[in-house]
Amino acid sequence: MTEHLEKVPIDRLVPYARNARTHSKEQILQLRASIREFGFINPCLIDKDYNILAGHGRVQAAKEEGLTEVPCVFVEHLTEAQKRAYILADNRLALNAGWDEEMLSIELSELEGADFDLDLLGFTDAELHKLLGEIETEEDDFDLSVALEEASFVEPGDVWTLGRHRLICGDATKLQDVEALMDKKKANLILTDPPYAVSYESASGLSIKNDNLKAEEFYDFLLSSFKNMIEVSEAGASAYVFHADTEGLTFRKAFEDAGFHLSGVCIWAKDSLVLGRSPYQWSHEPILFGWNKKGKHEWYAGRAEKTVWQFNKPKKNENHPTSKPIDLLSYPIQNSSRANGIVLDLFGGSGSTLIACEQTDRICYMAEVDDKYASVILRRYVEFKSGDSSDVFVERDGKKIPYKKLVKTVG
């Protein structure tokens, strides 16, 4: 058995032609960042003919970093069959290891406290979010398509109570509606997803209200909505606004003109693309981030948070293409608000922000102009509460009407 360590010119190394292990562009970038931070300290394993047995990804990253030589351990006692088997085993056996998540969480928290860049560790945003102690959320698997086929039972102007949450079937551009929703309270955080002005209509004929406005009309629509958000939010309250890049300038102008400070734009990097007519298919969605500039904004996370958010799309969203996964929404909620804080969403859609607030111990005040979708939001909440609607009701003409009674009426 002959084993020794030496630095080898990188151009002499020969990758195994039948290597079954793949390395994505993203992983190579992570390996390059690791090499820059730590150096090339994990030697490659090679045979006497400089064939790589272990370290293909590290060698590729080192080449892209411009390294001319890397440390290698020569392994010369293996047969050809053993070499091929080892290449597979070295990769597969590593996958069988697990984590002591409690210990891992402690290590990550201490590294974050020392201002170490956690991006270098290879964990995804969602993994770090979970491990650093944030509340874990889960998809409710609500079937939006089925709910949209049910009859509407909400009336325009209704203000519903859902436990600690509130929902109005009202217009985000009308201050009277927004004030009725807030009931003299102020929002601590704004998280919303306005229409994108892309004239969306599903295969079943369902459309999104206010999604086909002309340019000037759309700006005025957004400006009025954003001004109302400013009016009913705390000074310094953070705001996150999902939007379409094609209307990015309109969103930004209206956002700032309404009285928000625009800090930057975050990106939701989706796990799959959205087919469209563009030469490049969209696989991301931008989010304006800023705050009510009347005061200083609050931040409740560490310094490792990034502008690119990697979360999978919801599986059941064909009739509302802009619906968001719960873990995506809970991420900014926990970064920019405390437990029991009020989160305002004036474009409720299918109610995802409400479910995220329920799971993260926040209070959601939500508006939805379309009575059909307002009915969906209520159904979704009750389904999430395992059918318990005892704390869900609306007041009409001074009378308290329970959810169960109105649903039976249209059922």
Cα gap 207→185, rounded to integer Å: 32
**C-alpha neighbours within 13 Å on the C-beta side of residue 267:** 10
pLDDT at residue 32, rounded to an integer: 95
pLDDT at residue 197, rounded to an integer: 54
Cα gap 392→3, rounded to integer Å: 72
Return the number of other C-beta atoms located less than 10 Å from residue 139's C-beta. Answer: 14
Phi first, then psi: what are they for 205, rounded to 5°? Answer: 95, 0
- Residue located via tokens 């290891």: 97
Phi first, then psi: what are they for 255, rounded to 5°? Answer: -60, -50
More confident residue, 2 or 244: 244
More confident residue, 172 or 151: 172
> DSSP readout, 83-118?
HHHHHHHHHHHHHT----HHHHHHHHHHHHHTT--G
Cα gap 225→219, rounded to integer Å: 10
Side chain identity at residue 317, one-letter code: N
Q: Which residues contact 67 (CB under 8 A, 6 or more apart)?
A: 10, 35, 40
Phi first, then psi: what are they for 97, rounded to 5°? Answer: -75, 155
The per-residue pLDDT for range 275-296, each reduced to its tens digit, is 777 888 888 999 999 999 999 9
* Residue 344: closest CA among 221, 167, 158: 167
Beta bridge partners of 261: 291
131-145, 164-178, 322-336: least confident range: 131-145
Return the number of other C-beta atoms located less than 10 Å from residue 203's C-beta. Answer: 7
| H or E element at residue 411 | none
pLDDT at residue 363, rounded to an integer: 97
Indicate the pLDDT class of residue 409, thresholds 50, 70 and 90: low
- Mean predicted lDDT score pLDDT of the chain: 89
State the alpha helices, DSSP H only, in 132-214.
144-149, 175-182
Q: Are 285 and 250 in contact (CB under 8 A)?
A: no
The per-residue pLDDT for range 298-311, each reduced to its tens digit, is 898 877 789 999 99
Q: Which domains does the chain have, with CATH numbers?
A: 3-95 (3.90.1530.10), 134-410 (3.40.50.150)
Strand 399-402, strand 3-9: pairing: unpaired
- For the record, the structure tokens of 393 come out as 């009701």
Return the number of other C-beta atoms located less than 10 Å from residue 107's C-beta. Answer: 13
What is the Cα Rg of the chain in Å? 26
The size of the chain, in residues, is: 411
pLDDT at residue 261, rounded to an integer: 98
121: pLDDT strictly greater than 70: yes
pLDDT at residue 212, rounded to an integer: 57
The per-residue pLDDT for range 55-93, each reduced to its tens digit, is 999 999 999 999 999 999 999 999 999 999 999 999 899
Read off the pTM: 0.68
Cα gap 183→178, rounded to integer Å: 9
pLDDT at residue 199, rounded to an integer: 45
pLDDT at residue 277, rounded to an integer: 78
Side chain identity at residue 394, one-letter code: V
Q: CA angle, 360 as apex, 359 and 366 as ends, to 5°?
A: 80
DSSP 134: P
- Residue located via tokens 């409690």: 102
> DSSP readout, 226-283?
HHHHHHTEEEEEEEEEE--GGGHHHHHHHHHHHTEEEEEEEEEEEEEEE--SSSSPEE
104: pLDDT strictly greater than 70: yes
The per-residue pLDDT for range 203-235, each reduced to its tens digit, is 444 444 545 567 789 999 999 999 999 999 999
The per-residue pLDDT for range 149-161, each reduced to its tens digit, is 888 999 999 999 9
Cα gap 305→318, rounded to integer Å: 30
